[in-house]
Amino acid sequence: MKDLTQEEWQEKLKKDKNAVILDVRTDEEVEEGYIPNAKIIDIYKGQGFINEVEKLDKSKNYYIYCRSGKRSSQACTLLDQMGFNETYNLLGGFSEWEGETTTP
81-97 confidence digits (pLDDT tens): 999 999 999 999 999 99
- Model confidence at 1, pLDDT cuts 50, 70, 90, reads very high
Residue 34: inside a domain: yes
Q: In the annotation, is 76 catalytic?
A: no
pLDDT, residue 9, reads 96
Give me the mean pLDDT over the 12-25 stretch: 97
Residue 101: inside a domain: no
By the 8 A CB rule, do 71 and 54 touch? no
Boundaries of domain holding 36: 2-96
Give me the mean pLDDT over the 77-83 stretch: 97
CATH code of the domain containing 86 = 3.40.250.10
Give me the mean pLDDT over the 73-86 stretch: 97
Residue 89: inside a domain: yes
- Catalytic residue (one of 35, 66, 75, 90): 66
Residue 11: inside a domain: yes
Residue 104: inside a domain: no
pLDDT, residue 76, reads 98
22-58 confidence digits (pLDDT tens): 999 999 999 999 999 999 999 999 999 999 999 999 9
Residue 52: inside a domain: yes
What is the residue-wise DSSP string for the chain?
Answer: -EEE-HHHHHHHHHH-TTEEEEE-S-HHHHHT-B-TT-EE--GGGTHHHHHHHTTS-TTSEEEEE-SSSHHHHHHHHHHHHTT-SEEEEETTTGGG--S--B--
Specify the number of domains making up the chain. Answer: 1
- Model confidence at 10, pLDDT cuts 50, 70, 90, reads very high
Residue 103: inside a domain: no
